[in-house]
């Protein structure tokens, strides 16, 4: 049992709270921590038996795996926005281990393309693979487009804290710069180069936000790519160290965190003001402010009474959105010391050798027996600097790939771990295929795997409460960034949103959503807690978050 949390199955909620936060993922936790620093007593309710959302870890048969944090950018740079955010809301500093010179390795058949940390180094390395003059110019133009698009987002995200009146006056202007880059990534790349191989290599990280190049917004791609230009890091002690660093801030302000506390409904009175929540056992907790980190779909469709959703026509908002893809993750355990395996820290992105991400996705979705369009291989044991202190004789690996909900939907009513022989057979077939992807890159591992198990979109639904197992919540296509209602304020008074749907996917998006939502709730410019002046806020919001100078 985590020392910072209480189990609702064992203890009753008896306190009086200023704020209730639904969900203990990084968006909910960071929002709660910002509010706690402002003297608010916050109750966090988590349906899962482990806190932390996609930052939690789980153990099985003597192994430990993270479920969502595979690497983070910019945290090793002390003056970056993401570093300052973590420092401010953490009780003790999170230690981050750098992944080294190469953080991502793109593999197409037998061809390997390394992403090196440092903007100049990245460009130089890419140019060594593509020596033609036109390609070299294209690489420079690509990096410039990434930086320009990322700069354009500063006012775009600040606009989300404005009230309706201010947004109607200034919102269009503040969003205008970013909207120039809110186009499909593939279209933007086609304007930069006609080299199919170069485009495939430069867009290989699309798996980090779940939308292939023809569908994903270049706005999202630029955030992601720029975020890692200075390399990647991994939290020492595993991703659970993130929750453990933030939780004490909330507890010291008198707040509490309960697991196994699944919210059934957000309570709204006759004048359409939120005033608390009702848990699945019908227990009611009241508070003047309710914040949902459960995602906009869950919040509007499942947590609000139908008459409330109908009154504000919230279904019309949801109809303008699309859910992100589902995924499978193969969790692998090896009874070998970290030093014995000698695995590198770089992530492997393994693709078919035709250099066409969109075609490969289409072929795979049409027939799951076709080659995986992407196999992302992560080596947390190698990344974690103090892994051997906790697991001296064991190592772990994770492999992630695409998996649509519909392939597994027929078993959604079956119990976890008891879904039957047919389901288990499908999982085993996928597992063996993914293991072969690993052995193709690291042949010395064949025969050393002690344990493996596969999660599917059903696992994501079961543990993270996404209705169709969507790993990233909202799809990161162009339409997502066109929607002005994706902001902390909701039409229901005293009800707010936070988390990845408010800003973007990833650690940076979750952290900044916490800052934005807490800013709206308190009516204070909380950026002044991180920087010395309001001028720095408006001149540099999100600037450091993704590494601009």
What does the domain layout of the chain look like in residue ranges?
6-55+77-93+236-321+476-546, 118-232, 323-464
> Quick one: how far is CA 45 from the chain centroid?
20
In the three-class reduction of DSSP (H, G, I as helix; E, B as strand; rest coil), residue 110 is classed as coil
Question: DSSP string of 263-322?
Answer: EEEEEE-TTSBEEEEEETTS-EEE-SEEEE-S-HHIIIIIIS-HHHHHHTTHHHHHTT--
| pLDDT, mean of residues 99-123 | 97
pLDDT at 266: 98
- Report which of 329, 349, 355 is spatially closest to residue 441, judged by C-alpha positions: 349
* Domain 6-55+77-93+236-321+476-546 CATH superfamily: FAD/NAD(P)-binding domain (3.50.50.60)
Q: 274 CB contacts (<8 Å, ≥6 apart)? A: 266, 267, 268, 289, 290, 492, 493, 494, 495
Alpha-carbon distance 106 to 208, whole Å?
13
Q: How far apart are CA 123 and CA 119, in angstroms?
A: 6
pLDDT at 547: 36
Residues 498-519, mean pLDDT to the nearest whole number: 94
User: Which pTM was predicted?
Assistant: 0.93
Instruction: Quote the CA–CA distance of 530 and 246 in Å, as a whole number.
Output: 16
- Confidence class for position 532, pLDDT limits 50, 70, 90: low
Q: Is 383 left (phi over 0), alpha (psi -120 to 50) or beta?
A: alpha
222-243 per-position pLDDT tens digit: 999 999 999 999 999 999 999 9
Helical spans, DSSP H, in 442-547: 457-464, 478-482, 506-522, 534-540
Query: Over the stretch 367-393, which tens digit does the pLDDT of each residue have?
Result: 999 999 999 999 999 999 999 999 999
Q: How far is CA 358 from the centre of its chain?
A: 22
- CA 357 – CA 351 distance, rounded (Å): 8
């Amino acid at each position: 049992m985590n020392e910072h949390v209480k189990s609702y199955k064992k203890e009753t909620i008896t306190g009086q709270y200023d704020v209730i936060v639904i969900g203990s993922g990084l968006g909910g936790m960071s929002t709660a921590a910002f509010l706690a620093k402002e003297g608010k007593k916050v109750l966090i309710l988590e349906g899962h038996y482990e806190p932390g959302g996609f930052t939690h870890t789980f153990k099985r048969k003597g192994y430990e795996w993270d479920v969502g944090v595979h690497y983070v950018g910019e945290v090793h740079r002390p003056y970056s926005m993401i570093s300052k955010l973590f420092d401010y809301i953490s009780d003790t500093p999170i230690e981050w281990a750098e992944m080294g010179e190469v953080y991502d390795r793109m593999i197409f058949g037998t061809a390997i393309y390394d992403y090196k940390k440092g903007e100049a180094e990245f460009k130089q390395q890419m140019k060594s693979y593509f020596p033609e003059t036109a390609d070299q110019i294209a690489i420079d133009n690509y990096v410039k487009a990434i930086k320009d698009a990322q700069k354009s987002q500063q006012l775009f995200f600040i606009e989300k804290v404005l009230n309706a009146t201010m947004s109607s006056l200034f919102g269009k202007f503040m969003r205008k710069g970013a909207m120039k880059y809110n186009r499909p990534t593939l279209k933007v790349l086609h304007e930069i180069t006609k080299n199919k191989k170069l485009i495939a290599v430069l867009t290989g990280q699309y798996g980090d936000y779940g939308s292939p190049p023809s569908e994903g917004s270049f706005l999202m791609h630029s955030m992601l790519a720029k975020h890692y230009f200075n390399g990647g890091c991994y939290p020492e002690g595993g991703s659970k160290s993130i929750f453990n660093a933030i939780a004490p801030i909330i507890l010291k302000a008198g707040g509490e965190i309960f697991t196994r506390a699944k919210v059934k409904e957000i309570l709204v009175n006759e004048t359409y003001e939120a005033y608390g929540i009702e848990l699945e056992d019908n227990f009611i907790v009241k508070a003047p402010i309710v914040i949902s980190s459960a995602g906009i779909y869950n919040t509007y469709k499942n947590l609000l009474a139908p008459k409330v959703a109908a009154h504000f026509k919230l279904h019309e908002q949801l109809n303008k959105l699309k859910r992100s893809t589902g995924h499978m993750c193969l969790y692998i355990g090896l009874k070998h010391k970290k030093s014995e395996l000698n695995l590198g820290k770089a992530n492997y992105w393994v693709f078919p050798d035709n250099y066409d991400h969109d075609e490969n996705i289409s072929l795979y979705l049409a027939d799951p027996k076709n080659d995986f369009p992407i196999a992302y291989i992560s080596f947390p044991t190698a990344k974690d600097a103090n892994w051997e202190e906790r697991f001296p004789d064991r190592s772990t690996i994770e492999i992630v790939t695409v998996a649509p909900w519909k392939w597994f939907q027929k078993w959604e009513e079956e119990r976890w771990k008891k879904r039957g022989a047919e389901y288990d057979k499908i999982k085993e077939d996928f597992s063996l295929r993914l293991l072969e992807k690993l052995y193709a890159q690291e042949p010395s591992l064949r025969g050393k795997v002690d344990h493996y198990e596969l999660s599917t979109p059903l696992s994501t639904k079961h543990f993270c409460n996404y209705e169709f197992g969507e790993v990233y919540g909202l799809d990161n296509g162009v339409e997502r960034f066109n929607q002005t209602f994706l902001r902390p304020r909701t039409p229901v008074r005293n009800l707010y949103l936070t988390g990845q749907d408010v800003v973007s996917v990833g650690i940076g998006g979750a952290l900044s959503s916490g800052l934005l939502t807490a800013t709206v709730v308190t009516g204070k410019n909380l950026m002044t807690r991180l920087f010395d002046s309001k001028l720095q806020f408006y001149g540099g919001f999100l600037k450091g978050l993704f590494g601009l100078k």
